[in-house]
Amino acid sequence: MYSDLMLKTWLQEHTLQSQAMKNEPAFFRNLEQALDVRRAGHGLMTAKPRWDKSVIDWTTSDFLSLNRSGRIREAFFEEIARHDNFELSASGSRVQYGNYDYLKEVESEVADFFGAETAYITHTGFHANVSAVATVPLPGDAILYDELVHASTHEGMKLSVAAHKISFLHNDVDSLHDALTSLRDSHPAFKSGAQSILICVESIYSMKGDVCPIKAFIDVTKELFPLGNAQFIIDEAHSVGILGPNGRGLISLLGLEKEIAIRIHVCSKALASTGGVILCNKTVRRVLIHQGKYITSSGAPSFPMVASIRAGIGLLRNGETKKAQDDIQHIVKYFFETLTSNPIWEEAADEGLLSCPLSDDWEARPYVTHIVPIFTRPGHEQYLFFHLVLRNMNAYNMSPPTIPKGTALVRFVFHAHNTREQVDTTVAAICDWAREMLDIENGESGNTLPSAARHVYSRIDDLRS
Ligand SMILES: Cc1ncc(COP(=O)(O)O)c(C=O)c1O
């Protein structure tokens, strides 16, 4: 049973270590001591055991089911067969020997598919963000960023020489407006165009599942900076495959390709491969190559990786993924309908026990996204996770620092392979849990903990052994 394996691994990883390391080198004991602080709070990030297909998948990044179905593997082998004398390694970085013809050919195809001047393939999406954010701003420039941007953007900012790094409220046009106005009015170099501003946002936010109001952001920015010295970098990690014509992403859906300086695409999610893509013009590409030591002081992507990216993009381009893209729309809407029509859900929402902001006005939106968080009271997210995992469904709980302080959620990621029956089972499980919690809170249960948490805690010794 997956839940036993999962909980066993989790508990083993949370067993305190430093005490038992008294006679070990202090270097390692100090590290374990630091980890013990997180273990004590049950907050250690742990590598999870992989589950089989009997577990209901509310977690993987295989949104379009290209990995699970084996379709990406087939397309990959077809691509390999067309190039049977390939050299596996790039054998150097871009600025040395690594800029091979096949890589250049695929980059130009990818740029063409996404309507960009150029595409630059990196080893990971994380790398792509770090490199672009760290490299592009010049000394004295500014970076403005949505408070919920991904860790890779934060890492890029740490490495950047930009003089100002300022956050604005999540998806808030007024807050961006205020941050831009303040920069313009306090530093003449921004007003005159002598210094630039890079604004970092994401198409679909990976924890909240909401969509960036990018059109309104662009309008505000152009109005305040008509000289064009404030430009956007948008991370499309979650929108490729999900939004836009043939899954080209949010910017293509809105026809804003020419308005965005840098787009980051991630191949490890819907494309079922690995790698990142930086879409940009020739100037930004020259800067990345000239200054981007994070990518150029590193071997260029190998042939198999680039071939797998080409295979994935090929499936999007030839329309094979359109049905999966539609299926995701349908299954998420079915989830919203099923959840919000359950009377227990209504009571739980009224009591502030659970909320699902994305389910509120979904009918008014032109599309839904595949990431749906259910918020609960801090501390309860783990109970809900236990409840679901014991019923053979996998939706991970999230707490700070991955999400803002004072919040707690269980995140549901929808895929083309999720079925209506799975939605029915999951909504019933969420609502059973809510009923139990409401009874506990109302003093109508003899317990202080819900049954799944009691079950896990009562088996701690057993599971640890
Ligand atoms: C928004 C966002 N950007 C970037 C990345 C990193 O992508 P990759 O897995 O290719 O490193 C992720 C992955 O979780 C992500 O969610």
Whether 151 is covered by a domain: the verdict is yes
In this structure, is residue 193 part of a structural domain?
yes
The contacts of residue 215 (CB under 8 Å, 6+ apart) are 254, 256
Instruction: Report residue 460's pLDDT band, with 50, 70 and 90 as the boundaries.
Output: confident
- Whole-number Å distance, alpha carbon 126 to ligand 1 midpoint, is 5
- Choosing from 317, 341, 361, the residue where a domain stops is 317
- Check whether residue 263 and residue 388 sit in a common domain: no
Instruction: Give the three-state DSSP class for 464.
Output: helix
264 neighbors 59 (Cβ within 8 angstroms): no
Q: How confident is the model at residue 291 (pLDDT cuts 50, 70, 90)?
A: confident
Q: Is residue 464 very low, low, confident or very high in pLDDT (cuts 50, 70, 90)?
A: low
pLDDT at position 78 is 97
Contact 7, 13 (CB under 8 A): no
Q: Is 273 in the pocket of ligand 1 (CB under 6 A)?
A: no
Residues 61 and 77 placed together within one structural domain of the fold: no
- Order of strands across the sheet that contains 397-398: 354-355, 371-376, 409-413, 397-398
Compute the average pLDDT of residues 280-303: 90
Q: Are 348 and 380 in contact (CB under 8 A)?
A: no
CA distances to 75, 267, 332, 337, 359 from 309, in Å: 10, 7, 27, 36, 34
**Residue tagged 């859906």 (tokens):** 253
22 and 83 in a single domain? The answer is: no
- Edge-first strand order for the sheet with 197-202 is 118-122, 276-280, 262-266, 230-235, 197-202, 142-146, 164-168
The per-residue pLDDT for 296 is 76
Q: What is the pLDDT of residue 9?
A: 87
Q: Which residues pair with 397 in a beta bridge?
A: 410
Q: Is residue 37 part of a domain?
A: no
Domain identity same for 347 and 443: yes
CA–centroid distance, residue 388 to ligand 1 (Å): 25
The band of 240, judged by pLDDT with boundaries at 50, 70 and 90, is very high
**Shared domain check, 335 and 256:** no
Q: Which of 33-42, 76-85, 276-285 has the lowest mean pLDDT?
A: 33-42
Whether residues 85 and 49 fall in one domain: no
Q: Is residue 38 part of a domain?
A: no
Decide which of 277, 294, 317 is a domain's last residue.
Answer: 317
Same domain? For 112 and 198 the reply is: yes
Average per-residue pLDDT for the chain: 95
Residues spanned by the domain of 99: 71-317
Find the range with the poorest average confidence among 51-55, 211-215, 274-278: 51-55
Compute the distance from residue 237 Cα to the ligand 1 centre, in Å: 6
Tell which residue, 50, 57, 54, 55, has the closest CA to residue 414: 57
Query: Does 60 contact ligand 1 (Cβ within 6 A)?
Result: no
The pLDDT value recorded for residue 3 is 83
Element (H, E) at 28: helix 26-40
224, 180 contact by CB (below 8 A): yes
* Residue 402 confidence (pLDDT) above 90: no
Instruction: Kindly state if the Cβ of 152 falls inside 6 Å of ligand 1.
Output: yes
**What pLDDT, on the 0 to 100 scale, is given for residue 465?**
63
How do residues 346-398 score in pLDDT, each as one tens digit?
A: 999 999 999 999 999 899 999 999 999 999 999 999 999 999 999 999 999 99
How confident is residue 463, by pLDDT bands cut at 50, 70 and 90?
low
Domain count, the chain: 2
- Say which CATH number the domain at 410 has: 3.90.1150.10
Look at residues 286, 317, 348 and tell me which one is the last residue of a structural domain. Answer: 317
Residue 39: inside a domain: no
Any ligand 1 atom below 6 A from CB of 125: yes
pLDDT at 282 over 90: yes
CA distances from 383 to 96, 290, 452 (A): 53, 50, 7
- Whether residue 297 is predicted with pLDDT greater than 90 in this model: the reply is no
Q: Which of 148, 202, 207, 268 to mutate to test the pocket of ligand 1 (most atoms within 8 A of CB)?
A: 268
Mean pLDDT of 12-20: 90
Location of structure tokens 């305040």: 224
Q: Are residues 139 and 281 in the same domain?
A: yes
Answer yes or no: do 101 and 220 share one domain. yes
Verify that 172 and 301 share a domain, yes or no. yes
Tell me, what's the pLDDT at 295? Answer: 74
Query: What's the gap in Å between 227 CA and the centre of ligand 1?
Result: 32
Cα 125 to ligand 1 centre (Å): 5
The confidence score (pLDDT) of residue 99 equals 94
The pLDDT assigned to 293 comes to: 78
Give tens-digit pLDDT for 44-90: 888 888 888 899 999 999 999 999 999 999 999 999 999 989 999 99
| Residues 190 and 336 both lie in one domain | no
409-413 and 371-376 strand pairing: antiparallel
Say if residue 373 is preceded by a cis peptide, omega within 30 of 0. Answer: no
How many CB atoms are located within 10 Å of the residue 339 CB?
22
Ligand 1 center to residue 273 CA distance, Å?
12
Same domain (yes/no): 284, 174: yes
Residue carrying the six token digits 């990044």: 61
Q: What percent of the chain has pLDDT over 70?
A: 99
Mean pLDDT of all residues in 90-97:
92
CATH number for 187: 3.40.640.10
The CB of 63 under 6 Å from ligand 1? The reply is no
Q: Which atom of ligand 1 is the closest one to the Cα of 127?
A: 11
